[in-house]
Amino acid sequence: MNPKLLLRSAVHDVLYHSYVKSRMRREVTTTILQRPFLVVPTVFHPRFYYSSRIFVNFIRTLDLVGKKVLDMGTGSGVLAVFAALQGANVTAVDKNPEAVRCAEFNSEKNGVGDKVRVLLGDLFSPLNGGDRFDYMFFNPPFYPREPSSIADLAWKAGKRFRLLLPFVQEAQTHLERGGRIYLIVSSDVSVEHLLELFRRRGYSVQARFKKNLLFERMIIYELALDRCG
């Protein structure tokens, strides 16, 4: 293994088992940019992992007034809430019932319950055939390992990203013409293999934002099609 990744793995294991894991086993309220968010066990914790905050800061640079946004795999609803605060009408989807409960509560708590619709289901399955969006935000599971629990679905996408394939295949049917997909990926994984799945479907791919962390780089990619549907 690359020495850098080996060191990162060791530090992560120490921090995870000594600090994070115990806190992820109980219901807590945390803050992101001074906004309160309820997080319960099995739901991705936006305070302990940087991808949510990085994505939020990017979302705040977009003009979302009146736009239709899909927050795929919403977790505690952080991206949905901040998109709604930017003026978007948001549909948030998650397969984990506890995540749906959190996202609904957090939308109401942050005063955007009327602008966020939260649905329970796997990827696009709970949507209507006519649901189309100007933007899709996705903080996907990007580690190519098999999940063993519902909590793992926030992290592990299966071998060769097999659990993300339905998203890649179906997203275009729910994009408005000129719509954009934004997803955040870690340099820890085979980013090019993941992006190639989209390129094969005709998407153009552009890195829009990069953030260097201690052991990795987080990158937000913009995916676009000339035609959608």
Residue 191 in any domain: the answer is yes
Residue 229 in any domain: the answer is no
Average pLDDT over the chain, rounded to whole?
84
State which amino acid sits at residue 210. Answer: K
Give the whole-angstrom CA distance, residue 99 versus residue 200: 31
Cα–Cα distances in angstroms (integers) from residue 14 to residues 17, 50, 58, 132, 188, in the given order: 6, 17, 30, 43, 18
Q: What CATH number did the domain enclosing 132 receive?
A: 3.40.50.150
Give the whole-angstrom CA distance, residue 131 versus residue 124: 10
Residue 71 in any domain: the answer is yes
Residue 108 in any domain: the answer is yes
Residue 13 in any domain: the answer is yes
Cα–Cα distances in angstroms (integers) from residue 118 to residues 42, 59, 96, 167, 173, in the given order: 18, 19, 12, 18, 20
- For 72-81, 124-133, 186-195, which range has the lowest pLDDT when averaged over its residues? 186-195
Q: What is the pLDDT of residue 151?
A: 63
Residue 72 in any domain: the answer is yes
Q: What is the pLDDT of residue 112?
A: 98
Q: What is the pLDDT of residue 193?
A: 82
Average pLDDT on 193-208 reads 91
Residue 190 in any domain: the answer is yes
pTM of the shown model: 0.85
From the list 116, 102, 105, 167, the residue with the least C-alpha distance to 140 is: 167
Q: Which structural domain, as residue segments, surrounds residue 189?
A: 3-224
Over the stretch 21-58, which tens digit does the pLDDT of each residue have?
556 667 889 999 999 999 999 898 887 778 899 999 99
Q: What is the pLDDT of residue 20?
A: 54
Q: What is the pLDDT of residue 182?
A: 97
State which amino acid sits at residue 206. Answer: Q
The radius of gyration of the chain from alpha carbons, rounded to an integer in Å, stands at 17
Q: What is the pLDDT of residue 144?
A: 66
Over the stretch 98-150, which tens digit does the pLDDT of each residue have?
999 999 999 999 999 999 999 999 999 999 988 999 999 998 866 666 766 67
- pLDDT tier at 215 (50, 70, 90 boundaries)? confident
Q: What is the pLDDT of residue 185?
A: 87
Is the pLDDT at 17 greater than 50? The verdict is: no
Q: Domain count for the chain, please give it.
A: 1
Residue 58 in any domain: the answer is yes
Element (DSSP H or E) covering residue 175: strand 175-186
